[in-house]
Amino acid sequence: MASSLSLLLLALCALTVAEAGLRVFNLRATDLVPDPIGPCDGYVKLFLGSAKLGTTSVIDNDDNPWWEEEFAYLTARQHDVLRLEVYDRDLIYDDLVGICETQIKKGNYVYYCNLDDDVTLYFSTTLS
Ligand code: CA
C-alpha cells in the first residue's frame, strides 16, 4: 500500500514538473511600419497553442511601443508554441504587421523576432 502511494506521489510530482507556469512580459517593438496617414498604433495578441493568452493595450502614435502588460498561463509545457501577432489599429481594418512564433523553453529568456525587414519584436518569457 505504501509503495503505491509513493508511486502516486511520484506521478503527481512529475505532472507538476511537466506543467508549469509561463509568464510573458516586457513586450516592445522597434520601427513598426507607419500608416500612410501617420505613426503606428500597435498592439499584440498572444496565443499559446490554441489558447489565447490575451491582448495588449493599443499604444497610439508610436513606432517604438513598449507594452507594460504581463501575461500568464498556468498549464504551459516546454516546447509549446508561443505565437505573437502584432497589429496596427486603424479606423476600418487593423493591419497585421507580423507574426512571431517560438517554442517556449524552461528558464528565463529574452527573445527578439524580425517581423519584417526593419520591424523587430522583443519579449521575455519565464517558464518554471
Ligand atoms: Ca494606425
Ligand 1 centroid vs 36 CA: distance in angstroms? Answer: 9
Give the pLDDT band of residue 7 (cuts 50, 70, 90): low
**95 is written with which cell numbers?**
493591419
Ligand 1 centroid vs 89 CA: distance in angstroms? Answer: 5
Domain count, the chain: 1
In this predicted model, what pLDDT tens digit does every residue of 23-60 receive, in sequence order?
999 999 999 977 777 789 999 999 999 999 999 999 99
Q: Which of 8-17, 31-40, 63-72, 84-93 has the highest mean pLDDT?
A: 63-72
Ligand 1 centroid vs 113 CA: distance in angstroms? Answer: 21
Q: Which domain holds residue 91?
A: 2-127
Ligand 1 centroid vs 90 CA: distance in angstroms? Answer: 4
CB distance 15 to 39 below 8 Å = no
* This prediction's pTM: 0.82
| Among the listed residues 46, 100, 64, the one whose alpha carbon sits nearest the alpha carbon of residue 56 | 46
CA dist 71 and 22 (Å) reads: 8
Neighbours of ion ligand 1 (CB under 5 A): 35, 41, 88, 90
Read off the CATH number of the domain in which 93 is found: 2.60.40.150
